[in-house]
């Protein structure tokens, strides 16, 4: 790890304190966020760090014990759209679970889901950048997530792992994401059972156990930490960039992510009911835990190298500049992202670019035109990550073979 030992990283993190996404040093506090602020409005109040996905974990563990992982992956490969029936031949318990889990929650607001696509039409470019250079790189300073990725199967083939993550980011912004012709229900459920598979496999890794504080990865708290690094972070960055977002659009964007948390298996009592509640939860569960680890530093380098695979001379410094712009100097320093000759250009040029793009929305058919251009970029990214093939989320069959 370039001479950076685990001990030196942990010491440095301790000495610096935990610097949150807003640059505020804050100690990790005991769980105190009230379930009365959730979409459910009530709940047990149990710390989500000690809550997982018991039903999914039990069913997926059974799939492994009976040697059915390859069968399930083969059968689910063709299950891609929300309206599709589940394929014949699935283990009966898994089929019953997926049939129940594919139902949208009773509190779904279809009007908000219809509205959110119009929001994506106008602001999809900003969100794509925030998902990639913000959340994607921030995951490397979320210690539990970085270690889980590094020592699981995804750590051995980061391009494939990023492609599967990017699929969720792509599908959530598609028209009718949760409608019959959309793919988000399927993407969420495949991700949910993949999380269960990682929880089954990763405790078998001595390397992961040596550094992990938890006995099982990907708790409900871990999922919500990632949720905040996407939804809450992006919403706040749009405000910081002075992108004009109406209250109705902001509420629709939140609802899209509320539905996503539910479909990923998060209990409703942990899903914030509004942005004020989301920010309060984020300040408790995300901001204080951000810190460097050897695994995260290595992942960040891999991510930037993959993104600039064919042109390190020009592309990589530009990507470094956008990562630094989205996340700030502290996180960039933790991840050893060097300063780029484009830092000043991005910092100075991004605000006028936003103003120019926002003014263009007043022109006839501009939202549709923006969407077509942004879609071309998104399709290009997915083509590159998937190497020209359809990206399919599958159950892993083992951990990172480099750390067996």
pLDDT, one tens digit per residue, over 116-160 is: 999 999 999 999 999 998 999 999 999 999 999 999 999 998 888
Say if residues 41 and 311 touch (Cβ distance below 8 Å).
no
Say if residues 119 and 285 touch (Cβ distance below 8 Å).
no
Question: Residue 240: what pLDDT?
Answer: 96
SS3 1: coil
Residue with token string 């298996």: 265
Please give the Cα distance from 340 to 156 (Å, whole number).
28
Question: Residue 303: what pLDDT?
Answer: 87
Residue ranges in the chain whose pLDDT is less than 70: 1-28, 307-314, 404
Structure letter (DSSP) for residue 289: G
Please give the Cα distance from 348 to 176 (Å, whole number).
36
Cβ-based burial of 210 (10 A; exposed 0-12, middle 13-18, buried ≥19): exposed
Question: Residue 23: what pLDDT?
Answer: 45
Cβ-based burial of 254 (10 A; exposed 0-12, middle 13-18, buried ≥19): buried
SS3 108: coil
19 phi/psi in degrees, rounded to 5: -100, 120
Calculate ∠ Cα 113-181-252, nearest 5°: 10
Maximum distance among all alpha carbons in the chain? Answer: 59
Question: Residue 18: what pLDDT?
Answer: 35
279: closest CA among 227, 327, 218? 227
pTM comes to: 0.90
172: closest CA among 85, 276, 253, 92? 253
Question: Residue 404: what pLDDT?
Answer: 64
Helix 110-129 to helix 247-263 angle, to the nearest 10 degrees? 90
Q: Which residues neighbour 64 within 8 Å (Cβ) at sequence distance 6 or greater?
A: 197, 200, 201
Say if residues 299 and 140 touch (Cβ distance below 8 Å).
yes
Please give the Cα distance from 281 to 289 (Å, whole number).
13
Helix 220-227 to helix 275-285 angle, to the nearest 10 degrees? 120
16: closest CA among 2, 27, 4? 27
């Amino acid at each position: 790890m370039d001479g950076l030992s685990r001990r030196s990283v942990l010491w440095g993190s301790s000495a610096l304190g935990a610097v949150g996404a807003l640059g505020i040093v804050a100690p990790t506090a005991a769980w105190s966020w009230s379930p009365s602020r959730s979409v459910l409005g009530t709940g047990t109040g149990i710390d989500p760090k000690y809550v997982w996905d018991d039903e999914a974990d039990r069913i997926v563990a059974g799939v492994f014990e009976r040697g059915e992982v390859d069968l399930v992956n083969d059968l689910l490969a063709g299950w891609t759209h929300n309206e599709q029936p589940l394929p014949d031949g699935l283990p009966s318990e898994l089929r019953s679970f997926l049939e129940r889990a594919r139902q949208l929650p009773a509190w779904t607001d279809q009007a908000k889901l219809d509205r959110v696509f119009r929001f994506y039409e106008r602001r999809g470019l900003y969100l794509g950048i925030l998902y990639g250079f913000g959340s994607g790189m921030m995951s490397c300073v979320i210690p539990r997530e970085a270690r889980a990725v590094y020592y699981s199967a995804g750590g051995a083939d980061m391009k494939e792992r990023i492609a599967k993550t990017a699929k969720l980011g792509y599908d959530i912004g598609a028209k009718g994401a949760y409608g019959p012709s959309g793919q988000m229900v399927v993407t969420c459920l495949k991700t949910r059972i993949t999380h269960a598979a990682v929880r089954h496999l990763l405790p078998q890794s001595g390397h992961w156990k040596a550094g992990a504080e938890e006995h099982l990865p990907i708790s409900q708290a871990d999922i919500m930490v990632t949720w905040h690094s996407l939804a809450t972070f992006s919403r706040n960055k749009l405000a910081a960039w002075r992108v004009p977002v109406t209250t109705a659009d902001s509420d629709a964007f939140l609802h899209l992510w509320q539905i996503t948390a539910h479909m990923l298996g998060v209990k409703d009592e942990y899903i914030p009911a509004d942005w004020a509640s989301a920010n309060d939860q984020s300040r408790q569960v995300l901001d204080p835990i951000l810190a460097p680890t050897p695994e995260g530093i290595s992942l960040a380098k891999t991510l930037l190298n993959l993104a600039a695979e064919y042109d390190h001379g020009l592309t990589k410094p530009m990507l470094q500049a956008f990562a630094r712009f989205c996340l700030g100097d502290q996180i960039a320093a933790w991840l050893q992202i060097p300063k780029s000759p484009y830092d000043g250009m991005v910092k100075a040029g991004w605000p006028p670019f936003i103003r120019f793009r926002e003014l263009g929305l007043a022109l006839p058919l501009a939202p549709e035109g923006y969407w077509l251009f942004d879609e071309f970029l998104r399709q290009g990214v997915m083509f590159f990550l998937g190497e020209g093939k359809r990206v399919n989320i599958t159950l892993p069959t083992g951990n990172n073979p480099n750390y067996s």
